Structure 1
Amino acid sequence: MGIMNDTFEVAKGIYWVGVIDWNLRDFHGYATPKGGTYNAYLIIDEKITLIDTVKAEFAPEMIEKIRRIVNPSKIDHVICNHVEMDHSSGLPAIMELAKGAKLFCTKRGKAGLDEHYESGGCGNWDFEMVDTGYELDIGSRTLMFIETPMLHWPDSMHTYLKDDHILFSNDAFGQHLATSVRFEDEVECGAIEDAAIYYANILLPFGSKVLKYADKIAELGLEFDMIAPSHGVIWRKDPMRVVDAYVKWAKGETVPKVLVIYDTMWNSTEIMAKEIVEGISEGGAEAKLFHLRKNDWSMLLRELMSSPVIAVGSPTMHSTMFFTISGFLTYLKGLRPKGKGAVAFGSFGWGGGAVKHVEEMMVSAGLEIIEPGLQVKYRPYEADLKECRELGVRLAELALERSE
């Protein structure tokens, strides 16, 4: 097994010099219960090349790993695939040591680095701006750059080591996963599910860009023996598996499944949710029930990717929806899932409002309202429960139709 050490060699002359963040539990609102990594890669050739850096607080650890291989001052090239701070905020520290290094990034990458790090010495860095097809000879090997705008920032690019067929893919194909092994095939049960959770919470809005990228790598005739992302583990056993999975997720392929997502105050909305689930099962589709204060939103998004239909239930509070429902739908709005049918349901006391506001937020999140909202006053009685079950049956039928 490839147990992590301070000079881990990914392939001959190519070293992982990243760091493991065992205690990472939140990545700008996306839950990361398994921790994470910030990966950087050092290539030893005639021109010593560092691909990406790490989050600033971990820069000393990265630099110490590099020192055990080569004096950082001898680095000739630094490649910045992406400006986001978890990959670039270690740049000032490494550029201070590698004063003669040339820094390679896209045109938009330079603009972003100028904005972030001018006061950190960025104005003195030796930039080389690149685009798709630009090749860099580092001695016995050649690197090629591929622009990947909006996967997931405008500046993003990938670096392809032509001779070894290794793709350094930055945020694409990553996972938030802290582990002492560096290869995906060494992870118990693999990492494809972690990659799916990552995709659902980071790349879901960019499906059309993913498909264009897949076309581009086919057009360029690229072959991958490894895909080395900037988070998580490296894909080396049939690495096209994760590319194929991205294409599947980008196309929005679904199965006959309905998510029932809700919160409740005095159990009326919960009773409705459970009856809807019963109806979905009767209708022949799979049902998944999620209480928003008892389930993590980030994991829920993985289920949403493969579900063509969702039902969202809320009690009325202060004439509007419950705050957790509002928060979840706001989160969903940012991810803009496509091709999802939706229905709202809920309960109220002396005055309604929740169902109407849920429907409005659903529409703003790009969901299609497929059934009129269902609401009950105070608590559901037998006639209400019957309506809930019947709604569930109809949702199952719609899920079956949409997954054909």
Structure 2
Amino acid sequence: MHLKIKNNINWVGIKDWELQKFHGNEYSINHGSTYNSYLVKEEKIVLIDTVWKPFAKDFVKNLEKEIDLDKIDYIIANHAEIDHSGALPELMAKIPNTPIYCTKNGIKSLKGHYHEDWDFHPVKTGDVLDIGNGKQLVFVEMRMLHWPDSMAVYLTGDNVLFSNDAFGQHYATSAMFNDLVDQAELFQECIKYYANILTPFNTFALKKINEILAMNLPIDVIAPSHGVIWRDNPTQIVLKYLEWSKDYQENQITLLYDTMWEGTRIMADKIAEGIKKADGSVKLVLLNSSKGDKNDIITEIFKSKAILVGSPTINKGILSSIAEIIEIIKGLNFISKKVATFGCYGWSGESVQVLNSSFDQTNFTRVSEGLKILWNPDTDAIKKCIQFGEEFVKLIKT
């Protein structure tokens, strides 16, 4: 099926309603996703990106219903990752001499994935491809958003920015436009996408967005590679990216824990009680890392100005679900956030020390030595937890 985006621009992608995991098992999907491919029909006919490899045959079959494949003049590969380029081998088997425009790094990546020497044409920021009827494609490198090969392409005349992974979200819907979907769902998927995928590249994002804005391009539509297409006030998502890229935080504290026999959970509840006692205005989110979705947890951490992390001691270490979240945090390189740790123990009690050492390897600012409680918290220990929560509120203000 196709969907008209504007004038001679059609969406010819795939909706993946059943998708549950992405990037292997690293990203959870709550509302399916789309692999957005666009067909531009001017004097020259241009295909912008393809779809994920499992859908390659269906994609090519559907595309053949839209156009004689031999009439495609140019293919634009904004990004070589498999969810964007996966149908290229199937397509190029039918039209092997069609030129492919991508960055120099894109050529390396595509050759690395598919071991084919297609007719590649490297482009860089500012390069232009004339497609007739007074319209041009202007290329903009988007290095590290979120791969070295990434780029976007802008269509003059129609004022459409094909932004690839930037400004997208994993969100499948029958209505493909931003003004036709649930706004709370949409922006939750947008911030989840940014927090879990783009956070490590904040500096690149800020620089590139400012560079695009400085070009003073009129933008009527932003057409990303995943999720809905921004046609109503499209630059609202650009402004959100600017906000999120600047060490983003809300008035929120996230309290993350795992527990074996409820002791650490009780600590978490009582620390939370102390926090609310000290600051009734702060949004407080409590999450059990063994039961919550890791990407949703990361999204809440991204929103937070400070977090508390708790684990009981096991084998002189910490529980695996907490260890996994910390490992993700290290990779995402969160900036300007504060942390304290806690946990209960029965034998040796190393968990708080392990947690502290782990966070000392991140960019979090640790504000205390943490709190550890022997066995299940008794009345005195509960008081200490409440006081710890109150003190934490004071410490993160300094």
Per the shorter chain, which TM-score range? Answer: over 0.9
Deviation at 1:389, TM superposition (A): 1.2
**Greater displacement, 260-269 / 9-18:** 9-18
SS of the aligned residue for 1:131 comes to coil
Deviation at 1:396, TM superposition (A): 2.5
What are the within-5 Å matches in structure 2 for residues 135-214 of structure 1?
135-140=128-133, 141-189=135-183, 191-214=186-209
User: Cα deviation per residue 1:109-166 (whole Å; 9 max; x = unaligned)?
Assistant: 1111111111xxx21x111100000000011220001001110001110011121111
C-alpha separation between the residues in 2 aligned to 1:352 and 1:183? 53
What is the one-letter code of the residue matched to 2:358?
Answer: M
1:330 aligned onto 2:349: no
What are the within-5 Å matches in structure 2 for residues 206-285 of structure 1?
206-284=201-279, 285=282
C-alpha separation between the residues in 1 aligned to 2:335 and 2:179? 32
C-alpha separation between the residues in 1 aligned to 2:94 and 2:324? 44
User: Cα deviation per residue 1:88-124 (whole Å; 9 max; x = unaligned)?
Assistant: 1211111122223110000111111111111xxx21x
The aligned counterpart of 1:386 is 383
1:15 aligned onto 2:10: yes
C-alpha separation between the residues in 2 aligned to 1:394 and 1:167? 49
Q: 2:309 aligns with which of 308, 312, 325?
A: 312
What are the within-5 Å matches in structure 2 for residues 281-292 of structure 1?
281-284=276-279, 285-292=282-289
Deviation at 1:398, TM superposition (A): 4.4
The aligned counterpart of 1:65 is 62
What is the one-letter code of the residue matched to 1:19?
Answer: I
Deviation at 1:306, TM superposition (A): 2.0
Aligned length: 392
C-alpha separation between the residues in 1 aligned to 2:64 and 2:125? 32
C-alpha separation between the residues in 2 aligned to 1:211 and 1:393? 36
**Structure 2 unaligned spans of 5+:** none
What is the one-letter code of the residue matched to 2:9?
Answer: I
Say whether the 8 Å CA contact 2:2–2:13 is kept in structure 1.
Answer: no
TM-score by structure 1 length? 0.94
C-alpha separation between the residues in 1 aligned to 2:219 and 2:244? 20
Deviation at 1:359, TM superposition (A): 1.4
The aligned counterpart of 1:24 is 19
**Greater displacement, 43-52 / 64-73:** 64-73
1:126 aligned onto 2:119: yes
C-alpha separation between the residues in 2 aligned to 1:76 and 1:62? 18
SS of the aligned residue for 2:311 comes to strand
C-alpha separation between the residues in 1 aligned to 2:167 and 2:142? 13
C-alpha separation between the residues in 2 aligned to 1:278 and 1:8? 52
Deviation at 1:14, TM superposition (A): 0.7
User: Cα deviation per residue 1:297-344 (whole Å; 9 max; x = unaligned)?
Assistant: 111222222211000000111110011111111121111111111111
User: Cα deviation per residue 1:168-191 (whole Å; 9 max; x = unaligned)?
Assistant: 111111111111111111112361
Say whether the 8 Å CA contact 1:281–1:396 is kept in structure 2.
Answer: no
The aligned counterpart of 1:3 is none
Say whether the 8 Å CA contact 2:10–2:38 is kept in structure 1.
Answer: yes
SS of the aligned residue for 2:275 comes to helix
Deviation at 1:7, TM superposition (A): 2.2
Runs of 4 or more above 3 Å deviation: none
**Compared with structure 1, are the counterparts of its residues 398 and 308 closer, same or farther at alpha carbon in structure 2 (3 Å cutoff)?**
farther
**Greater displacement, 304-313 / 182-191:** 182-191
Deviation at 1:253, TM superposition (A): 3.1
**Greater displacement, 381-390 / 308-317:** 381-390
C-alpha separation between the residues in 1 aligned to 2:360 and 2:70? 54
What is the one-letter code of the residue matched to 2:119?
Answer: D
**Structure 1 unaligned spans of 5+:** 1-5
SS of the aligned residue for 1:318 comes to coil
User: Cα deviation per residue 1:211-237 (whole Å; 9 max; x = unaligned)?
Assistant: 101210122112211111101010111
Say whether the 8 Å CA contact 1:257–1:396 is kept in structure 2.
Answer: no
1:101 aligned onto 2:98: yes
User: Cα deviation per residue 1:10-36 (whole Å; 9 max; x = unaligned)?
Assistant: 111111111011111111211102111
Say whether the 8 Å CA contact 1:25–1:33 is kept in structure 2.
Answer: yes
Identity level (%): 40
C-alpha separation between the residues in 1 aligned to 2:187 and 2:257? 28
User: Cα deviation per residue 1:45-66 (whole Å; 9 max; x = unaligned)?
Assistant: 1111000011111112221222
The aligned counterpart of 1:342 is 339
1:294 aligned onto 2:288: no
SS of the aligned residue for 2:60 comes to helix
Say whether the 8 Å CA contact 1:7–1:68 is kept in structure 2.
Answer: no
What are the within-5 Å matches in structure 2 for residues 348-363 of structure 1?
348-363=345-360
SS of the aligned residue for 1:316 comes to coil
1:43 aligned onto 2:36: no
**Compared with structure 1, are the counterparts of its residues 280 and 398 closer, same or farther at alpha carbon in structure 2 (3 Å cutoff)?**
same
Say whether the 8 Å CA contact 1:376–1:384 is kept in structure 2.
Answer: yes
